[in-house]
Amino acid sequence: MRGLTIAVAALVCGAVVAAIELASDHHGTPVVWAVFAPAVGWSFVATGLYASHRRPQNRVGALMVLLGFAWFLFTLDASDVPLVYTLSAVFGGLWGGVFLHLGLSFPSGRLAEPLDRALALAGYVLFPLAFVPALMFSTPHQLGCDECPQSLIFIRDDPDLAKVLTALGAAVYFVLFAVVLVWAVRRWRGTGEFERLQLTPVYVFSLLTFLSVSVARAGAGDAAWWVAFVATLMTPFAFLGGLLRSHVVHLADELRESLEELRESRARVVAAGDAARRQLERDLHDGAQSRLVGLALLLRLARNRASDPEQAALLERASGELSASLNELRELARGIHPAVLTDRGLEPALDALITRAPVPVTVEAKLPERLPPPVETAAYFVVSEALTNVAKYARATHATVALRRANGHLMVEVADDGIGGASASAGSGLRGLADRVAALDGTLSLDSPSGRGTRLRAKIPVDSRGRRDTGR
């Protein structure tokens, strides 16, 4: 309802302005002005209402609506009624103050810094009042408009004083423009890439309008005014485009935050899984494995004391089965999470791993210090899964494992001279590895041409800030 009321008021004001323009005795091309003058005000009001509807918490829309009505006040200078003409001459410049306020506060509509507030206040004072003193001593002829009504604030005809005051008003405009230009450049340079996308069109059209108005007020003639008016007409769309880009920037920020939360969540899931695996390995080692070792000792003692050869043979067989089960349990514990990885680090764990490999394995490791636990664990399982695949499918006679740090990453490469033809999508092992590495913002790649061996590469970021006490 409020928006509808504002829209109706804007239509009425625009119609009044059009009527005044058509009846004016001192504006050239009245038909053009009757179309152009309301169109500028309507464009600001319409885009302001749209912006307020899309982002009601943002003040830019309200400022654009206010600027539209201030523009209607400015265009009343076409009136032949002395009182209306004088009110427009004195207060019509308020549109420049609102315009500057809008540019300084974009894209939030709020003046955050003391300098911003000071510049906005200066605009509200200087834009309407800078040329009022000159108006007091200027006749319509001296203003370049013989048909214009005489201003009601006219005191006396003093051409020299009027020229001085006009020059002073123009100088004030240019000084304010220079300050705003420096402010805009500094702010633009201090923003990020996405923010510049929204600020650039706004600043370009705003500064162009400001400069052309300053030149026109300094006496440059109708051509400068038309440049200023055309730039003003385009400005609301620049502000609207900037607001829409601001919305895109906001969505991009939310997307980045969501991606970061997703990365952290995946990392937490992997860390929790690794912690559970370490705990399970400890439970197996300290619980079931220790009891089985004790049971093996008892069976060996019973076998040594058995007098019946048949009983001794049964005990010997049971001892052998228990030893095999104990070895299988140790292998299971290593597969869950090798204790040597936790206690001594990645290189000793890999040395223990390749001793059980079915083919000769050459290890090339250049790691001067311990890595963060998640990185060590991911690298270990990359090598473990690759060597498992070598044993099962590659028909290789030799494999190599290479680890090195470069540019803040751990590079892991496992290669063999087997038959190749491996596919990352063929089994769940490599897919699980890819997920584990991706949880650390790393990448996993597989190169396995048929008949030319297989090469598995992992690139894992090493965050030194996240490095913890390697003693766990």
* Count, residues in the chain: 472
Strand, helix or coil at 145?
A: coil
Q: In what order do the strands lie in the sheet with 454-461?
A: 361-366, 399-406, 409-416, 454-461, 443-447
Mean pLDDT of 171-183: 91
Confidence of residue 457 (pLDDT cuts 50, 70, 90): very high
Only one residue has tokens 């490469």, namely: 413
DSSP code string of 335-400: HH--HHHHHH-HHHHHHHHHTT-SS-EEEEEE-SSPPPHHHHHHHHHHHHHHHHHIIIII--S-EE
Tell me: the pLDDT tens digits for 314-364? Answer: 777 777 767 776 665 565 555 555 777 877 888 888 888 888 888 899 999
More confident residue, 233 or 143: 143
Confidence of residue 114 (pLDDT cuts 50, 70, 90): very high
Q: State yes or no: pLDDT of 236 exceeds 60.
A: yes
Assess contact for 399 and 390: CB atoms under 8 A: yes
Only one residue has tokens 């003409």, namely: 85
**CA separation for the pair 382, 435 (Å, rounded):** 11
Q: State yes or no: pLDDT of 123 exceeds 70.
A: yes
The domain segmentation of the chain, as residue ranges, is: 2-258, 343-466
**CA separation for the pair 135, 153 (Å, rounded):** 7
Element (H, E) at 444: strand 443-447
Q: State yes or no: pLDDT of 291 exceeds 80.
A: no
Q: Which amino acid is at 299?
A: L
**CA separation for the pair 465, 144 (Å, rounded):** 71
Tell me: the pLDDT tens digits for 253-278? Answer: 666 776 777 666 666 666 666 665 66
Question: Given this model, what pLDDT does residue 332 score?
Answer: 53
Confidence of residue 467 (pLDDT cuts 50, 70, 90): very low
Tell me: the pLDDT tens digits for 70-101? Answer: 999 999 999 999 999 999 999 998 988 998 99
**CA separation for the pair 13, 380 (Å, rounded):** 76
Assess contact for 430 and 390: CB atoms under 8 A: no
CATH architecture for residues 343-466:
2-Layer Sandwich (3.30)
Estimate the crossing angle of helix 30-54 against helix 2-23, to 10 degrees.
170
Question: Given this model, what pLDDT does residue 464 score?
Answer: 47
Q: State yes or no: pLDDT of 55 exceeds 70.
A: yes
More confident residue, 38 or 261: 38
